[in-house]
């Protein structure tokens, strides 16, 4: 197992950095915001807490929550325009610094493609660098489920994405940064996990992560010290 010093060296020399989105890159949980917008906020927030605590499989939790919300295409678009996701302080600067260093930045999310694309555009991250879940709609815009073939639709999916990135781009060192159990599970195959508690602290992650931060400035400082 790598020591904290070794993890910091991996981060400073990484080829690619993967960020979780909900409660990491943005301040809120996209699915909870969508639920509130559709009038079922409390019930879905409780399901999210259970999913992030690692007590139910991710796909089961996602299926149950979306079955309750049943968002239409119009509701998703209106959520993004009326309540755009709020970037976490420091993330814009950190992503910009990583790009300057020639590091590839990816958004790997159990959230929804349409919301994550909006976030990526603000951070100059290309759409091709997004791995997220895709909602499906009938021709009249009604909810029709989600694409269950996406790796991010199930537990262990983020690790599968990292394996895919290593195979496709021959990355030697890939870092995963996130707040939840699904992010921590991605290392290995990820080479370094950095737990993030700047928006919400997941007890299990804080206890188990060797490197745990509460502000992205901590990572910016690591890059400046080199």
**Residue of 22, 32, 183, 191 marked active site:** 22
- CB of 178 within 8 A of CB of 192? no
How far apart, in whole angstroms, are the C-alpha atoms of residue 43 and residue 31?
A: 12
Q: What is the DSSP string of 66-112?
A: HHHH---HHHHHHHHHHSPPPBPTTHHHHHHHHHHTT-EEEEEEEEE
Cα distances (Å, whole numbers) of residue 40 to 69, 140, 196: 6, 22, 27
Whether residue 71 has a cis bond before it, omega within 30° of 0: no
| 67 contacts: CB under 8 Å, gap ≥ 6 | none
Active site residue 183: no
How far apart, in whole angstroms, are the C-alpha atoms of residue 197 and residue 136?
A: 31
Active site residue 20: yes
- Regarding beta strands 104-112 and 212-213, do their DSSP bridges make them parallel or antiparallel, or are they unpaired? unpaired
**Residue of 15, 20, 179, 217 marked active site:** 20
Q: What is the DSSP string of 147-176?
A: -TTSGGGSTTHHHHHHHHHHHHH--S-EEE
Nearest to 174 by CA among 4, 13, 21: 13
- Which residues are paired to 16 by β-bridges? 104, 174
Residues noted as catalytic: 20, 22
């Amino acid at each position: 197992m790598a020591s904290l010093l070794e993890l910091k060296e991996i981060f400073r020399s990484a080829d690619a950095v993967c960020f979780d989105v909900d409660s990491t890159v943005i301040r809120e949980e996209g699915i909870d915001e969508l639920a509130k917008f559709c009038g079922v906020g409390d019930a879905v927030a409780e399901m999210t807490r259970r999913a992030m605590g690692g007590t139910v499989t991710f796909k089961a939790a996602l299926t149950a929550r979306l079955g309750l919300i049943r968002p239409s295409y119009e509701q998703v678009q209106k959520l993004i325009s009326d309540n755009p996701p709020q970037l976490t302080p420091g993330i814009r600067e950190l992503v910009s610094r990583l790009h300057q260093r020639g590091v590839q930045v990816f958004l790997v999310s159990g959230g929804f493609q349409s919301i994550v694309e909006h976030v990526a555009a603000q951070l100059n991250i290309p759409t091709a660098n997004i791995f997220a879940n895709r909602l499906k709609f009938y021709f009249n815009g009604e909810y029709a489920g989600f694409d269950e073939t996406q790796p991010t639709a199930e537990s262990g999916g983020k690790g599968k994405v990292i394996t895919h990135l290593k195979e496709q781009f021959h990355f030697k060192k890939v870092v995963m940064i996130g707040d939840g159990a699904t992010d921590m599970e991605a290392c290995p195959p990820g080479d370094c996990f950095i737990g993030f508690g700047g928006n919400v602290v997941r007890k299990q992650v804080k206890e188990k992560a060797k490197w745990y931060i509460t502000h992205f400035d901590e990572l910016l400082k690591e890059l400046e010290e080199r």
